[in-house]
């Protein structure tokens, strides 16, 4: 069974700090990796995609991928209360199917 | 730009009643389409996906079915709802190999 694991949280960080969200996956053949943000009662929103080892930066967000360790992370710099949400990690193995983790709830404290 | 629509936004249905949820995508052609269900406080469960008109792959054997009568239209149906069908139903589309873009969702309560 292909799996994506995330700590459910909540992860609490003070405003202005760096939030670090982690995800591990079981399928070594995974090729594409995604982070989604889901506010309470809303649908998930794609915020980052990463396809190769290393870091990818987009504004305050940095995605990090380490295929050897089967590990992908999301860093949020200068965290704001508006970043409080559940963050979902998803993995695609080159097929039409995506495997989602259950999400990490982030709380940014003002 | 691409837009994905879902309706209705909320629905309360009695056990044993039928269901029809509709999803349409604008601004793209031949998208990969997906139906997910999210139970309260849980992860996303893939129900169906489609890579073309009339092509449906089912991930979970249950009392739900899906159809794709047009390129950018995806319909989720049930003949008789169960209490366990309650949840947040999400339609999504994706270009091949890219991330997914979700519609606003339908919150279904079966009573």
Q: Are A3 and A100 in contact (CB under 8 A)?
A: no
CA distance A94 to chain B (A): 7
Instruction: DSSP for B64-110, please give it.
Output: EEEEEEETTEEEEEESS--GGG-EEEEEEEE-TTS--EE---EEEEE
Q: Is A97 on the interface with B (CB under 8 A)?
A: yes
Structure tokens given for B47:
């129900």
Instruction: Provide the pLDDT confidence category of residue B61 given band limits of 50, 70 and 90.
Output: low
Of the partner residues B42, B51, B102, the one whose CB lies closest to the CB of residue A96: B51
Average pLDDT over residues A57-78: 97
Angle ∠(B92,A52,A91) on CA atoms, nearest 5: 35
Q: Are A36 and A23 in contact (CB under 8 A)?
A: no
Q: Provide the pLDDT for residue A95.
A: 80
Q: Which residue, among B41, B47, B87, B97, would best test binding to A if mutated, counting the most A CBs under 10 Å from its CB?
A: B97
CB neighbourhood size of B95 (10 A): 13
Q: Are B47 and B111 in contact (CB under 8 A)?
A: no
Residue A25 DSSP label: E
Measuring CA to CA, which residue among B31, B62, B66, B27 is closest to residue B48?
B66
Give the A window 35-94 contacts with B, CB below 8 Å.
Answer: 36, 42-46, 49, 88, 90, 92, 94
Residues B65-97 pLDDT 10s: 999 999 999 999 999 999 999 999 999 999 877
Mean pLDDT, chain B, whole residue set: 93
B99–A45 CB contact, under 8 Å: no
Of the partner residues A46, A94, A103, the one whose CB lies closest to the CB of residue B100: A46
Coil/strand/helix, residue A23 = strand
Structure tokens given for A24:
């591990």
Instruction: Provide the pLDDT confidence category of residue B56 given band limits of 50, 70 and 90.
Output: very high
Distances (CA, A) of A66 to A22, A51, A53, A103: 11, 10, 5, 19
Residues A43-55 pLDDT 10s: 999 999 999 999 9
Residue A69: Cβ-neighbour burial (10 angstroms; 0-12, 13-18, 19+): exposed
Residues A72-97 pLDDT 10s: 999 999 999 999 999 999 999 878 88
Instruction: Provide the pLDDT confidence category of residue B41 given band limits of 50, 70 and 90.
Output: confident
Q: Is residue A22 pLDDT above 80, yes or no?
A: yes
């Amino acid at each position: 069974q292909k799996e994506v694991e995330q700590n459910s949280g909540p992860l609490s960080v003070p405003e202005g700090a760096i939030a670090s969200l982690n995800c591990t996956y079981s399928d070594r053949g995974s090729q594409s990796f995604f982070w989604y943000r889901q506010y309470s009662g809303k649908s998930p929103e794609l915020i980052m995609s990463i396809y190769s080892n290393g870091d990818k930066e987009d504004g305050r967000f940095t995605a990090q991928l380490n295929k050897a360790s089967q590990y992908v992370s999301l860093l949020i710099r200068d965290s704001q209360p508006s970043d409080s949400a559940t963050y979902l990690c998803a993995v695609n193995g080159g097929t039409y199917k995506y495997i989602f983790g259950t999400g990490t709830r982030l709380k940014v404290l003002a | 730009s691409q837009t994905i629509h879902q309706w209705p936004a909320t629905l309360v249905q009695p056990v044993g009643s039928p269901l029809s949820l509709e999803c349409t995508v604008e601004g793209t052609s031949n998208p990969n389409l997906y139906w997910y269900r999210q139970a309260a406080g849980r992860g996303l469960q893939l129900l169906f996906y489609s890579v073309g008109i009339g092509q449906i792959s089912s991930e979970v054997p249950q009392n739900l079915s899906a159809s794709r009568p047009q390129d950018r239209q995806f319909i989720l149906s049930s003949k008789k709802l169960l209490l366990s069908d309650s949840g947040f139903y999400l339609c999504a589309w994706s270009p091949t190999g890219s991330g997914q873009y979700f519609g606003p969702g339908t919150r279904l309560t079966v009573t």
